[in-house]
Amino acid sequence: MRVLVIDDNEEITEVLRVYCDSRGMECTTINDGRKGLEAILDAKFDLILLDLAMPEFSGVDVVASLKKDGVLDTNNVVIFTASSDAKIIEEMKNSGVKEILKKPVSIDELTSFIDRYNPDV
């Protein structure tokens, strides 16, 4: 399984990379929204965990670009956020992202969640 994590918090991306590695998944981590968008356009991932609140080019910007380019529906983009802004969460749901996963998340929740997108399970 190939997972892409886009989050400006390097501690979060490192924890997720270690978790994915321990489960035999290939995990790419990127701490910048623009570079994350480039990675999505350049490669195929089974699951993309995307933070909303990033400086300069946010998760909202990434989703808008993917939608504009017509590739949002062909990617399993999941918003991975601590945001409780109901308006933005609803906007993301209506835009075509697959799901919203709220931070913080337990290991059991994360495992169950990722397994839903794992083509090998």
SS3 91: helix
Two structure tokens written together for 18: 């270690």
Architecture category of domain 2-115 in CATH = 3-Layer(aba) Sandwich (3.40)
User: What does each of the 121 residues of the chain score in pLDDT, given as a tens digit?
Assistant: 999 999 999 999 999 999 999 999 999 999 999 999 999 999 999 999 999 999 999 999 999 999 999 999 999 999 999 887 889 888 998 999 999 999 999 999 999 999 999 988 7
How many angstroms separate the CA atoms of 86 and 45, rounded?
Answer: 28
